[in-house]
Amino acid sequence: MRVLGIETSCDETGIAIYDDKQGLLSHTLYSQVKLHADYGGVVPELASRDHVRKIIPLVRQALSDASMEIGQLDGIAYTKGPGLIGALLVGACVGRALAFSWDKPAIGVHHMEGHLLAPMLEDDAPDFPFLALLVSGGHSMLVAVEGIGRYEVLGESLDDAAGEAFDKTAKLMGLDYPGGPRLSKLAAKGKAGCYRFPRPMTDRPGLDFSFSGLKTFTANTIASEPNDAQTRANIAYAFEEAIVDTLAIKCRRALKQTGYTRLVVAGGVSANTRLQISLAEMMKKEAGKVYYPRGEFCTDNGAMIAYAGLQRLKAGQVDDLAVKGQPRWPLDSLPPIS
């Protein structure tokens, strides 16, 4: 079975074709970073318009790269939610229209399920069950995964997600958009032990996350300290260290709670080098293993949507002709695949 995947949940247009026997046949991605840089963040209307301009050329490119004709496709998968409603509707309209005109079945995919299953694109894919840490600009959550669609959300963001906290703190420090990777680059020049920032909600039971207070603490530190390059790097180091430690502490708790020995980490923040090192060390001590998608599949991409959609299409799940986008969509409301 071969499925075309379409990802348009935010500011990246991702198209891919996945084959259940041959694996990933092609994938292409267009990032809108330059478009939104002048505004310091994503402008939803501009994002939607750019998806409209780029999506069909990218579909043609994905088919060409895979040396495929339309008739060789068996289905279409598109991101249905969560995300920016305008951006979601672009992908949903195009995906639904292509499926209708090509007489192919179509399925709307949950964006976070795509991230959760992204490590399955690798040769060293994890077996079920496992614990998933999903960390991105819009979400931070811990999920017990027994199978596809068999999800229990153990903890999630109560306010700012980890990636959102990175971006907002980077903006406070005057770093250009996208701020998260730039803050991490600055933190690499910082010195350990200069500052000690709080590890939010680690002094109480539970697995939920809250990073808005850490962002405020960092903002107050920036305002009260000298504005030289080394001080800024030291503050960035302490902030990143606090985020990574908090995520690691919560993961350790969740592993003990579930008894799992496999940890999947996905979403844009999963590409953070310090987080990867910290979780690798933790899992070594826990006699477990951590799994990541490759760097290009940590952020939003069409490959993860094609893979997730293929699993559901193979199970006989098909959406009707209605074009729908769900900007809010609980992950644990998805139907299981037996």
Q: Does 264 carry a binding-site annotation?
A: no
Residue 136 is assigned to a ligand binding site = yes
Residue pair 286/196 in contact by the 8 Å Cβ criterion: no
134 is in an annotated binding site: yes
Q: Is there a binding annotation on residue 111?
A: yes
Q: Is 332 annotated as a binding residue?
A: no
CA-to-CA distance for 49 and 136, rounded, in angstroms?
23
300 among the known binding-site residues? yes
Annotated binding residue 51: no
8 Å CB contact between 301 and 12:
yes
Torsion sign, CA atoms 244, 249, 253, 259? positive
For residues 240, 241, 247, 248, the Cα torsion angle rounded to the nearest 10 degrees is: 150
Sign of the CA dihedral 114, 116, 122, 126?
Answer: negative
Tell me if 288 is assigned to a ligand binding site.
no
Burial 196-228 (b: 16+ CB within 10 A, else e): ebebbbeeeeebbbebeebbebbeebbeeeeee
CA dihedral 89→93→94→99, nearest 10 degrees, is 140
36 is in an annotated binding site: no
Indicate the annotated binding residues for substrate: 134-138, 167, 180, 272
Indicate the annotated binding residues for Fe cation: 111, 115, 300
Indicate the annotated binding residues: 111, 115, 134-138, 167, 180, 272, 300
